[in-house]
Amino acid sequence: MAASRVHFMLLAAAVVLLFIGIAHQHDHVRETLNNAWQASKGSGSSPSASLEPEGHGVVAPGTPFVKSNAPSFHEIALKHGTDKVTDHHYWLMYDKYFPAIRNRKLKMLEIGLGCDMNYGPGKSYYTWLEYFPHVDLYYMEYDAACADKWAAETKGATIYAGDQADKVFLQKFIDETGGDFDIIIDDGGHTMNQQQVSLETLWKIVKPGGMYFVEDLQTSFMQAYGGDTMGGKDPNKHTMSKFIYELIDDKLQGDGKRHAISAEMRGIDCMREVCLFHKKELGT
């Protein structure tokens, strides 16, 4: 009887010692984890912070794709008030492609001074003159009175009054300016015929490596501009959007198959309401 009581007491003591051991071990583990956490916080890299992807996130308007200290296209365009950055999102395109070339000597044509805009002519004119310090700037404008007045009052660009859909006028422009443009932007009348005739006729005066942009492509779906109000399903409407699809088909299945100009295109980059047609470099 006395022996079994001794056994029982020894067993109870062993169990108590076992619990004390486990509790101590637990405290040690907790302390170790706590120390590690404090150390990582002290070094500025908490576990959650280390999961933050660096350099990713929402791209604010005007954040250029190429880092630079100079003001972005978005900033300059906003200052001058062109609808390229108020009603539209064209800075996404221009802040992507222009920073790399902005300090070069460039020959540039924009179709459309802004004579029919509620804010009047010149908003993009001053934007380009400020953005490109060495630009040789040209404009085409349908409203001859407005174009002539602007040309008489300013010195920053060579202004041609005429219709961007008139092939005779376009050829006169080509002959007189000598072509060889680094950049052409179509921000003119935005009808289907104007956009297609201008691109097909002026493409030959884009330099190798140069860029041709067409803005306001939403008009491909608007009746007032000859667009397809059936969302692209009307077989009788050959919109600019459908023309662009054909050029893309050419790029994917055989250069120049439907339109000869596609053979000279390095690529087509479209964003909201605007596409870039990028000309191949020589020998590529």
Ligand X SMILES: C[S@@+](CC[C@H](N)C(=O)[O-])C[C@H]1O[C@@H](n2cnc3c(N)ncnc32)[C@H](O)[C@@H]1O
**Site residues for ligand X per CB under 6 A:** 82-84, 110-117, 123-124, 140-143, 163-165, 187-189, 194
- Chain position carrying tokens 């470099």: 281
For ligand X, the closer CB: 125 or 250: 125
Tell me 265's DSSP state: E
Q: Provide, rounded to whole angstroms, the least separation between the CB of residue 239 and ligand X.
A: 17
Q: Which two tokens stand for residue 161?
A: 């009054």
For ligand X, the closer CB: 131 or 250: 131
Beta-bridge partner residues of 109: 138, 184
Q: Provide, rounded to whole angstroms, the least separation between the CB of residue 39 and ligand X.
A: 57
Q: Provide, rounded to whole angstroms, the least separation between the CB of residue 219 and ligand X.
A: 11
For ligand X, the closer CB: 94 or 142: 142
| Residues with Cβ within 8 Å of residue 131, at least 6 apart in sequence | 73, 76, 77, 98, 102
For ligand X, the closer CB: 164 or 262: 164
Is 250 within 8 Å of 178 (Cβ atoms)? no
Q: Provide, rounded to whole angstroms, the least separation between the CB of residue 142 and ligand X.
A: 3
Q: Provide, rounded to whole angstroms, the least separation between the CB of residue 216 and ligand X.
A: 7
For ligand X, the closer CB: 194 or 201: 194
Q: Provide, rounded to whole angstroms, the least separation between the CB of residue 242 and ligand X.
A: 20
DSSP SS3 for 245: helix
Sheet containing 274-279: give its strands across: 157-161, 135-141, 106-111, 181-186, 206-214, 274-279, 265-271
Residue 274: how many other CB atoms lie within 10 Å: 23
Is 142 within 8 Å of 124 (Cβ atoms)? no
Nearest-CB residue to ligand X? 189
For ligand X, the closer CB: 129 or 165: 165
